Structure formats: structure tokens, C-alpha cells
Structure 1
Amino acid sequence: MKYVITSKGDEKSDLLRLSMIAEFGSYGLEYDAENPEIVISIGGDGTLLAAFHEYEDKLSDTAFVGIHTGHLGFYADWRPNEAEKLVKRIAEEKYDTVKYPLLKTTVCYSSGKKETEYLALNESTIQSSGGPFVVDVIINGTQFERFRGDGLCMSTPSGTTAYNKSLGGALIHPSIKSMQLTEMASINNRVYRTISSPLIFPKHHKVSLKPVDDRDFQISVDHLSVLHRDVREIIYEISEQEIKFARFRSFPFWKRVHDSFIED
């Protein structure tokens, strides 16, 4: 079993990382940052998101597990005092894997420049670089609406608990292969109209955003935000790739929701 451990970078997380590496050494496991079979993230959900993007080209061969050194996360669900138990379970390979859907974002350019593709574990957002944000929303090749507002957010099922939730989107169980489009401050009056509700799309749907005026956009994928110029179209679809999480015990999605948002 080859493993790697990523850390948030604070003292608590770094010390726990060193302690776990020593513990793994006692089992004779190999530390391999290039081709790990399991990626252990210590910190929080943001740390695991960073680890996901670092190893997104190895998803078919890699499983992820998170330890939270702060608040309970949706991806980081182990506590520091359970690290020794986790190391033993990994060494004995006593775990199953569960797969979560990912979002594929394709940015196409008017200039003919090669398109850019991104994978998102949580969401992808698009906003204007400065002027009014106006795009045509096209669902499976048919125009649905002309959106005017601050921006749009497309999320994965597991990502619906993140920015999507703050925008008033629904929460979707990760076993449902879908993506959700939510609005950011849409303009609705006698002239402009949008649906004003989140839209949930199944696996076989494709959603395109086509600029009406401004072609420069700030596009964010999870924690990465990049300015794209001369954009012709942004295409959202559910990726054929999935992320695998190592599961050592039952921790239902709705319990995570309850513990994160309802329980004191």
C-alpha cells in the first residue's frame, strides 16, 4: 500500500502528519507522493480539495480520506485522536470505497485557442470580469433563458452543501449523479426575466453558457479562480470521472448535514 499525507500547514496538522508517517513506518508501508493508492488529507475540507486537484490525474487509482484538525467537514470526517486507528485500518486494507460525481467545465474561446477543461469536486462559478453579466443559458442545445445578474454557480451533489447552499440551492445526496445551477442576484423586472429557481440536471444533460456582450469572465473551480478572455462558450456536464473516498465506517451524508448545520 502506497500512501501520501497532505497537511493544512498549521502546527497541529503538521505534527499529526509526522506522527502518522512514523506510525505507517512501523507497518512497513511506502510513502509515495507520485503514485499513492491512498491520499490522507489533514486540515479541513479545503485541504482535501487541494489534495484532490493535486492528484486529479490519478483518480482511477487513488482513494481519499480526510482528518479534520478544526471543524467537522463533509470530506474530512476523522478526528485527530482517531489517527492511530485510521493508520491501522489502512495498513490492514480494511476499508471500502464510495464514489462521488465530479463536474466537468469546458471553456471554449472565440479566437480558436485550444479549449480549457477543469474538474470540480464542489462547484464552478462564473462572473463578469467587471461589466454586466449577461449570458444565454442553453440546455441540451435549446435556449432556456437569457440570464442577467451577478453570476451563476454549477455544483456537484456533494458541493451543494458549500457555496450552492448559501445561494439558496437544494442539497443533493452524492449518490445521485447530477449537477445544480443556482443564480447569483439575478435581475428580474418588466424587461428581464430568469427562472429564479435552482435547476437540477441529470447525468445525460449538458448546459452551455454563451456570452451576450462581455466575453471576459472570472471562472472559479473549487478554490481556483482564473480570468478567461475572449470566451465563446462555457460547457457544464457531469464528468465520466469520479472521486473515490476510503470508507472505514458508516457516516451517512444526512448525518453530516445535520452535524454541520443543525446540531449545536
Structure 2
Amino acid sequence: MSQRNNIYFFYTHKDHLDEKLQQLFELARENNFNIVDHPDQANIIVSVGGDGAFLQAVRTTGFRQDCLYTGITHSNESGLYCDFNLDNFDEMLDTIIHEELEVRRFPVINVLINGESAFHCLNEVSIRSTIIKTIVMDVYIDDMHFETFRGDGLIVATPTGSTGYNKSTQGAIVDPKLPCFQVSEIASLNNNRYRTLGSSFILNKDRTLTLQIVQDGNDYPIIGMDNEAYSIRNIKDLTVTLSDNVIKTVKLKNNSYWDRVKRTFL
């Protein structure tokens, strides 16, 4: 128990939420948990507010490998990253206390921009044009030139990220037990002159994806990483690989990834 009894709550302070969370804080203390003021002191990091808050909590706290993450949604909401809501927080504490928890491990991708700036993504990285003009990218798989893409942009998604932006572009939903990442097109241009694959494709964990931006005036695209946008001038290339790191989350029994997919979409 002493190994994992320090909890940090990640949430946006709002009067009505602060009031409700005070009840949860008291419940946690009654069960011998310590509520800490800084995530570096925590063994468990709890986000409050749905999948967006969970992604932000993971990114803000540095994709920590030495703690468990878990998410709490607001009442009557569901989340693909969040097993709990404000109405069953006591169930989460009971799970942790009695060591009945299962740990889920979600894949993470590494993104290297211009060979200099390195980032992690739990959901996806997307690169999109910011002007009314197609963006052109040479796509390399390992050292092989695969295609020259022309269109609005590309999405590179993790298995858990496959249910997000990737799904809206007709990408496949991927089991997070598969160590891989997926590449999906955003409004590709296909005609007698330009040709792309025209569908998503999935790369194994040992592959390296390189996207080289053709410098034709569209070298200031928007780079989206999970739920944050990065505007970086003079983008030349992105290199994406599957990270050795994973995000460990608390899992309720009888609530698999596919249970949550069914509950969310069907």
C-alpha cells in the first residue's frame, strides 16, 4: 500500500467541480491516501474531465514511466482513456486498496521535428496545411520512398489514438495490444497526375516513418500533437517511431478497450 498511496489530481479549477472534488479528497484520505500538491510526488496521477484532460495530464507531467495514470469523467460521460467517473470514484479507491487492479499499457510514439525537437504523443501527431493550398510530403518507410502525398495533411496515430481524429478520416480502429502506429490521409489529391495510396496503412513497431515537406511555400504547417497545436516555422521533416515507453493506467475488470469502444460508438 505504501508503494502507491500518493495521489495527484489534475483538473481545471471551477467552483462547482472544486466543491464536488472535496468529497472525493475526503474519501481518499479516509482510505489512507495522501493527496499531494505536485505530480512529481505522486505514484498515481488522476485526471478529471474526460479524455482531453487525460491527454493533457500525461503531457503536462512528462509521460512518466514510474507511476499509474487514471482518468475520471464527469457524471454521465464516458471516455476511452477513463475507466471511472465522479459517481464511482470510491470504486477506484477500492480497486487500488485491495490490489484487484489490472494495469493497461498504452503505446506512445516519438516525433522528431527537423532532427532537433523531440516530442511524445499518446494519441496522434498530425501535420496540416495552414494555407489554401495542398501540402506536399515525400513519405518514407525506413529508407524507402513510399509515395509523394498531396492533400490537406496526414495523421500518424497510436492504437488508442485510432479512435480519434484518425477514425474521422476513415482510418481503422486498432487494438492497443498491437505495438504499431497508423498513417491516414486528410483529403488527398488523386487524379491522372497525382497518386497516393488512398487508404490508411499500419506500420510495425520497428519501422521508421519519415515525412519530408516539399518546400513550395507551405513550410509553415500546423503540427497537432494529441490535443495541442504547435506552430513551428520552416518545417523540413518529421520522423516518427514507436517509443519504448508506455503509459500505464488503472483498468477496471470487465471493462476492456473494446467494451469502451462499443459503449462509445455503438
TM-score by length of 2: 0.91
What amino acid sits opposite 2:121 in the alignment?
A
What amino acid sits opposite 2:147 in the alignment?
E
What amino acid sits opposite 1:173 in the alignment?
D
Q: Which runs of 5+ in 1 are unaligned?
A: 110-114
Match of 1:211 in 2: 213
In 1, are the aligned partners of 2:113 and 2:235 still within 8 Å (CA)? Answer: yes
1:233 partnered with 2:237: yes
1:173 partnered with 2:162: no
> Any residues of structure 2 matched to 1:110-189 within 5 Å, and which?
115-130=116-131, 131-189=133-191
What amino acid sits opposite 2:52 in the alignment?
G
| Alignment deviations for residues 144-168 of structure 1 (CA, whole Å, 9 cap, x no partner) | 1110000000000011011100000
Match of 1:112 in 2: none
> Any residues of structure 2 matched to 1:1-264 within 5 Å, and which?
1-32=5-36, 33=38, 34-57=40-63, 59-69=64-74, 70-108=76-114, 115-130=116-131, 131-213=133-215, 214-262=218-266
Please identify runs of 4+ aligned residues in structure 1 that moved more than 6 A.
none
| Corresponding residue SS for 2:55 | helix
Q: Give the drift of 1:129.
A: 3.2
Cα gap change, 1:124 to 1:183, in 2 (>3 Å): same
In 2, are the aligned partners of 1:203 and 1:237 still within 8 Å (CA)? Answer: yes
Q: Distance in 1 between matches of 2:101 and 2:259?
A: 20
What amino acid sits opposite 1:259 in the alignment?
R
Task: Give the aligned CA root-mean-square deviation in angstroms.
Answer: 1.6
Cα gap change, 1:177 to 1:253, in 2 (>3 Å): same
Q: Give the drift of 1:248.
A: 3.4
Q: Distance in 2 between matches of 1:163 and 1:116?
A: 23
For this pair of structures, how many residues does the alignment match? Answer: 256
Q: Give the drift of 1:125.
A: 0.3
In 2, are the aligned partners of 1:24 and 1:91 still within 8 Å (CA)? Answer: no
| Alignment deviations for residues 85-131 of structure 1 (CA, whole Å, 9 cap, x no partner) | 2223334444231211011111016xxxxx11111111110012324
| Alignment deviations for residues 173-223 of structure 1 (CA, whole Å, 9 cap, x no partner) | 100011000000000011100000101001001100001123222101011
Q: Which runs of 5+ in 2 are unaligned?
A: none
Q: Distance in 1 between matches of 2:119 and 2:35?
A: 28
Q: Distance in 2 between matches of 1:10 and 1:222?
A: 24
